[in-house]
Every structure is written in C-alpha cells, then in structure tokens.
Amino acid sequence: MLDGAETVLREEGYGALTSRRLAEHIGVKQRLVYYYFETMDVLIVETFRRLASRELEQLRAATIGTHPLRQIWELCIHTNDSRMVAEFMALANRIVSLRSEVIAYIEEARALQVAALTNALPKDRATAIPPVALAIFASSSALTILREAELGVSTGHADVLTVIDGLIDSWGHIRPSDEG
C-alpha cells in the first residue's frame, strides 16, 4: 500500500490520493486500506516516514564516504523526488502529524549536512558563510534547479552548478583526518 501511495502521489498528486484511488491502483477492496490504516492521514504519514528514512540512510552513508560534500550534493541534485517534496509540503500544511514528521526530517537532514560542511571547510581560513547557511543554499538551489528543469527552465542553472562544483572542489578534498 505504501508503494501504491508513493506512486499515486508522484504521478497524480495528493488530490488523487484517496482510499478509493489507492485501492484501485493496487487492486484491492477499498475497505482493506482502512483495515491497515485507520485514516488516510495515517497512511500519508507512514508513506512519508518510509521515504524520509530512505533519504536519511543515503545521507548518512554519504557523510562517511570519501568525498562527503560531493556525495551529499549528488544526492540533492539527482533526486527524482522533487515532486514528492512539493506534495508532502502541501500535505504538511493540513496534516499536523505530517508537519511534525517533515520538520523532524528537515532538521535531521540539515544537521547531517552541516556536520559534513563543518568537517570539510578549511580550518585555517574562516568562511563568510556559516555551514548552516551553506546547507540551506545548496539544498534550496538543488530543489529549485530540479523543479525548474521539470518545467523546462534552465536559465542560470549551469552557473549555479559551476559555483557549487567549484566550492565542493575547493573544500571537499579536506577531511578531518587530513589535518593534523
């Protein structure tokens, strides 16, 4: 059912995610949806939790890789879920329990990104931009580029990618174990 909910959200949007549409999509009776999930809100929250868990697992793996900044950026810029982000953000405005899950996910993902940036930034020279701001700039840039590219917009994307790639190249090779 969670796979089906993901598919309906991704392909048709949250307005289409009803118990009837989900049951139709996965080939079961509508009442079976409510047998497993008390409400559609509960199903939506569980769908988000599963997606967030996968994303956080990938992010954690990237932070311990050989080039964490590059790996984190690749996760951000090559995600296929920009539509899902929009759908869950819209749903979080009306489902309080989902809003709490989205907030917790964003905070945890940001903490992982900030830790990776803090470890990668050169210790011998201060940067004018704090790691938390860099994390927000990078994740927002990636999401904007993905959303706009889906619409066919590309103006400025190459320039932003070049700037971020340059920063990653200049900072990303430094590991805490390299300093010392």
> Where in the chain are the domains?
55-178
Phi and psi angles of residue 162, each rounded to the nearest 5 degrees, phi first? -65, -45
pLDDT, one tens digit per residue, over 136-160 is 999 999 999 998 998 999 999 999 9
- pTM recorded for the entire structure: 0.85
Strand ranges inside the chain, DSSP E: none
CA angle (31 as vertex; 27, 37 as ends), nearest 5: 100
Q: Is the pLDDT of residue 82 over 80?
A: no
The span from the CA of 166 to the CA of 180, in Å, is 25
